Amino acid sequence: MKEFAKRYLDLLTGEYAGINLTRITTFEDFYQKQIVDSVLPLEVSKVFKKELESVNVMVDVGFGGGFPLLPMAAKYPNKTFIGFEARAKKAKVVQEIALKLGLQNVKCYHHRIENVVIDLPAVITFKAVGTLEDFVPKLNYKNDINVFFYKGPSFYELEEVERLEHRWKIVEECFYDLEGTDGRMLIGLKNRKVPRGTKSKKEAKNLVNLSELI
């Protein structure tokens, strides 16, 4: 992935330097903390790799400068990667960067995840976003899904997972080393049941199905 990382960093610090997509400008730091950090869970977590390889779509929420969205798309060119970002400018620019890196399997959207219905099998990732308690309740889904959060080593000191356990079960708790950091954690959740019932017409009007965006 080093050649991919070099081309990526050249774009971020060159043509797109004014967008502030990363604060890391040295190659080795960028390679470890952005590229390796994005794909290392594939090596350390059999659960994550198995779930990702069992579906055709990965959804990345709040991808910022494109992590882990673009590195993962580079690893799996035959799968579809959908990114949702609340900031329109970043969504537009990361889509441009994906194309310049030769990634034809990436689509970036300016959408909030609470306005998207996950209506097909997918793995969902969150990296460098808020707490599980903030984001997991926002997910709308019509089938079984797996959600993975990239977290720091102090995860359990900062967050309470117990409040989610009535609807979600933990399927992965993986601590691993990453050069230049105090370590990382991957937390995986799977829904216990699919919600039943229908939303109001007003709520439904504001929703878009994931299948419509592929």
Q: How far apart are CA 64 and CA 49, in angstroms?
A: 23
Is residue 112's pLDDT more than 80? yes
pLDDT tens digits, residue range 86-109?
A: 999 999 999 999 999 999 999 999
**Rg of the chain, C-alpha, whole Å:** 17
Give the model's pLDDT for residue 193: 83
Quote the DSSP letter at residue 212: G
Who's near 181: CB < 8 A, 6+ residues apart? 32, 33, 37, 152
Confidence of residue 198 (pLDDT cuts 50, 70, 90): low
* Average pLDDT, integer, range 33-37: 95
pLDDT tens digits, residue range 46-85?
A: 999 999 999 999 999 999 999 999 999 999 999 999 999 9
Which of the following CATH numbers is that of domain 2-212: 3.40.50.150, 3.40.50.1820, 2.40.50.180, 3.40.50.300? 3.40.50.150
**DSSP symbols for 63-88:** -TTTTTHHHHHHH-TTSEEEEE-S-H
- What pTM, to 2 d.p., does this model score? 0.93
Give the domain ranges of the chain: 2-212
Give the model's pLDDT for residue 136: 94
Confidence of residue 14 (pLDDT cuts 50, 70, 90): very high
* Alpha-helical segments (H) within 86-143: 88-100, 132-135
Confidence of residue 19 (pLDDT cuts 50, 70, 90): confident
Is residue 140's pLDDT more than 60? yes
Give, in degrees to the nearest 5, the angle at Cα 151 between 3 and 25: 35
Read off φ and ψ for residue 167, nearest 5 degrees: -120, -15
Q: How far apart are CA 182 and CA 44, in angstroms?
A: 16
